[in-house]
Structure 1
Amino acid sequence: MAVFALQTIFSKAIFLFLITIPLSKAILSPHYYDQTCPQTEGIILQTVHNATVHDLKVPARILRMFFHDCFIRGCDASVLLDSTPGNKAEKDGPPNLSLASFYVIDDVKAKLEAACPHTVSCADILAIAARDVVAMSGGPYWDVLKGRRDGTVSKANETINLPAPSFNVTQLIQSFAKRGLGVKDLVALSGGHSLGFSHCSSFEARLRNFSPLGNTDPSINAEFAENLRKKCLEPNKDRNAGQFLDSTSSIFDNDYYKRVIAGKGVFGSDQALYGDYRTRWIVESFAKDESLFFREFAASMVRLGNVGVSEDGEVRVKCRVVN
């Protein structure tokens, strides 16, 4: 990934100026910290940028962390809480064991507590950081609505509610609908797979014994399937073996959709988007028009960031523990 100087970091950005959106129990605003902690976004951007310089995996990890947070109890930073002797937290649920780079959020929080004590929620930090890693990777920029509260409950058994990489489109639509998100949100947010990497365990079921009729998922490109088999099914394979989710995995672009059209979606849930009439036309639209994808992704990220937001909760002093 090319990491740009901060003054040019958003040169490819698409600026979306968003008005305050009322929610069921709270109102978020892009200006929430203008008076109480005006340096909030600068501190987050600088810290995330510095972390990315030292570890190019940070952007994909932060973006995935945000998705996984919002899909459980809403965007309340419950995914950041550590387990305790009496409770196994979300981050230790099976789908979240591969989440990483929590230290970046810890670092941001420590700096914000020094600058503006007891002011900026961990949930807002994660939402802003997710926007910043997309923009730093060449994707769109949007105004993040702020004012979220941090949740005090985090349960590993609730991670079963995360959409699985094997889901078909009906299952995906139902999962997103439970969060108030539509079909276009589903396809746009799936484009987050423009960044990142998956271990074989998340997709190797597509490569063997897929059905009684054959060993391979018929929706996958044959040559691509063979390449994946070489990485994932050989004896004594590397436990960290896997596949990047698109061919430009450190750059946020629309290559993901082009690969899905070519039968090279890594997850079954990726490829399913092209095999269903409800989502196929959106995949094709995003593959043809990157600027359209950027606009829709930014709008869907704002909607995702509104999920489950309420006036309940607190502003944690440390993101890993409740106050």
Structure 2
Amino acid sequence: MRNHLSLLFCLLALGLLVCCEAGSLRKNFYQHTCPLAEKIIQDVTGKHVAVDPAVPARLLRMHFHDCFVRGCDGSILLNSTASNTAEKSATPNLTLLSFDVIDDIKANVEKACPGVVSCADILALAARDSVSFKFKRPLWKVLTGRRDGTISRDSEAIANLPSAKSDFAALKQKFSTKGLTVHDLVVLSGGHTIGVGHCNAFSNRLYNFEGKGIQDPSLNPSYATFLKTKCRSTRDNTTFVEMDQNSSIMFDNHYYVGLEQNKGLFQSDAALLTNKGARNIVRELLKSSKFFTEFAQSMVRMGAIDVLSGNQGQIRKHCAFVNT
């Protein structure tokens, strides 16, 4: 009996090990092959954030857009070619910025350890390090070991990325497809506490809600009046406003405060209040410590979506090009 129990415990331990190492992501993946990798990424990222406080929002969004298409494989970083239109050229990604930051980080890492650190891992770490810069401590854990994909198609970005104009059912379906819950949906939407949104992504709520030529009745009237001073028509695709009014560079839980006041910028923000369960989660996240804890956990789950590992994919020499 004792031997049987010992065997059972060993099998359980092995099962837990396999579970925890799922996808071959783990802490300090490069500790032997490139021990300074994470320090280099942190330092170069910090250099850029110190010059441009908009970088954190850009890299966080880029990481999100990467993971939702083919998983977290760096495919968002690939350039289009003569025979293929890549993800970054898809309409939802045309406003992504700071690819140059990733290129700079990659160049520095390659100098230290050529052909070792993936672009997918660099993006995941840089997103975390940029948001964490002002806090002087990492806000969430990033497990590493991702490999880079070699395929990037604009059609897949359009099909997989949640739209700013989505209702709750559509958002829930997009997240569920990626193995994420309604809880993850509400928590990760909190990333909208930093960054900006372009008028064409929400101006239908101001002038032509549901094609009826009216203002979205769920939108806070005073907030709508303010937005109309910025976005004069539904055809404006160049003007942008803060997603979290008066807090576009401060990573905090203020997004949920505005949401409770019906000041969510996008229809996808307002949609979180149309479902009882999601609405309850919004209220829980009004507590700052709760938001930071839950955001950290959801980012780990998002960062593990359909990762490539082992001999899958490649380690790209330059993040914008597939190795030849």
Task: Using structure 1 for the length normalisation, give the TM-score.
Answer: 0.89
CA distance in 2, matches of 1:185, 1:130: 18
* Correspondence 1:21-170 to 2 at 5 A: 21-23=20-22, 26-138=23-135, 141-160=139-158, 161-170=160-169
- Counterpart of 2:15? none
Q: In the TM superposition, what is the alpha-carbon distance from 1:20 to its structure 2 partner?
A: 7.9
- Counterpart of 2:7? none
CA distance in 2, matches of 1:274, 1:64: 22
CA distance in 2, matches of 1:236, 1:176: 29
Q: Which residue identity lines up with residue 68 of structure 1 in the other structure? A: H
Deviations 1:133-170 (A, max 9, x none): 22124496222100000000000111112000011111
- Counterpart of 1:269? 268
CA distance in 2, matches of 1:203, 1:38: 45
* Contact preservation (8 Å) 1:150, 1:313: yes
Structure 2 SS opposite 1:73: coil
Name stretches of at least 5 consecutive residues in structure 2 with no aligned partner.
Answer: 1-17
The percent identity for this pair of structures is: 48
Runs of 4+ in structure 1 deviating by more than 3 angstroms, as ranges, are 137-140, 211-214, 234-237
- Counterpart of 1:9? none
Q: In the TM superposition, what is the alpha-carbon distance from 1:45 to its structure 2 partner?
A: 1.0
- Counterpart of 1:301? 299
* Contact preservation (8 Å) 1:74, 1:308: yes
CA distance in 1, matches of 2:233, 2:152: 38
Q: How many residues align?
A: 301
* Contact preservation (8 Å) 1:20, 1:145: no
* Contact preservation (8 Å) 1:20, 1:29: no
* Contact preservation (8 Å) 1:165, 1:202: yes
Deviations 1:10-55 (A, max 9, x none): xxxxxxxxx98333xx311112011111111111111111111222
Q: Which residue identity lines up with residue 139 of structure 2 in the other structure? A: Y
Structure 2 SS opposite 1:302: helix
The 1:211/1:119 distance shift into structure 2, 3 A limit, reads closer
Computed over aligned residues only, the root mean square deviation of the Cα atoms, in angstroms, reads 1.8
CA distance in 1, matches of 2:303, 2:211: 41
Structure 2 SS opposite 1:233: coil
CA distance in 2, matches of 1:207, 1:248: 22
* Correspondence 1:276-287 to 2 at 5 A: 276-287=275-286
CA distance in 1, matches of 2:52, 2:238: 17
Deviations 1:64-90 (A, max 9, x none): 000000001100000000000000000
Q: Which structure would you say has the larger Rg?
A: 2
* Contact preservation (8 Å) 2:196, 2:240: yes
Q: In the TM superposition, what is the alpha-carbon distance from 1:201 to its structure 2 partner?
A: 0.6
The 1:39/1:93 distance shift into structure 2, 3 A limit, reads same
Q: In the TM superposition, what is the alpha-carbon distance from 1:57 to its structure 2 partner?
A: 1.4
